[in-house]
Amino acid sequence: MKYFLLIPVFVLFFAACNNQAAQPEEKKSLADSLFDDVMAGHDVAMPKMMKLERLQNQTKAAIDSINKLPSAKQKMLANYKTELDSTLKALDYADFAMNQWMGEFKYDSLKNNEPERVKYLQSELEKVNKMKDAVLKGINKADSLFSKK
């Protein structure tokens, strides 16, 4: 009797599995694939923005601390301060690049014109990759600088 109750469960299970396998996968258009690539670039950089902001503040604080030291100690730390200044510029640029890209990106641009949308998304892919690289390089530079301490 117990096995009799399991038969409908197995039938439903196999029917559900068979139904999923029978559905063909929908092919993505070139524009859809490019859009996914653009979003993937954004999705790499965006979660790092809080860390980037923290590193900007840490870098500014380190520069301010050096600036408050007596001139003899400032001279001793001149190379380090130069590295801090360079790092801050890289972090500031990365922050600017993210904000600019996000402000200019048009999510649904040219939806009704596939060839133009492809061109637009190819251009955006280049931009988002540059922005992503700036964010990652800025963070890596700051991490490297602060791990030397």
Q: What is the pLDDT of residue 53?
A: 97
- Enumerate helices (H) and strands (E) in the chain, giving the number of each: 6, 0
141: in domain: yes
Q: What is the pLDDT of residue 3?
A: 44
4: in domain: no
4 pLDDT exceeds 60?
no
Instruction: Please answer whether residues 114 and 31 qualify as being in contact, where contact means their C-beta atoms are separated by less than 8 angstroms.
Output: yes
Q: What is the pLDDT of residue 15?
A: 54
69: in domain: yes
Q: Which domain holds residue 131?
A: 31-147
Radius of gyration of the chain (CA): 26
Q: Which residues of 76-106 are buried (b: 16+ CB within 10 A; e: fewer)?
A: eeeeebebbeebbebbeebbebbeebeeebe
Tens digit of pLDDT for each residue in 81-123? 999 999 999 999 999 999 999 999 998 877 888 899 999 999 9
Tens digit of pLDDT for each residue in 15-47? 555 555 555 567 788 889 999 999 999 999 999
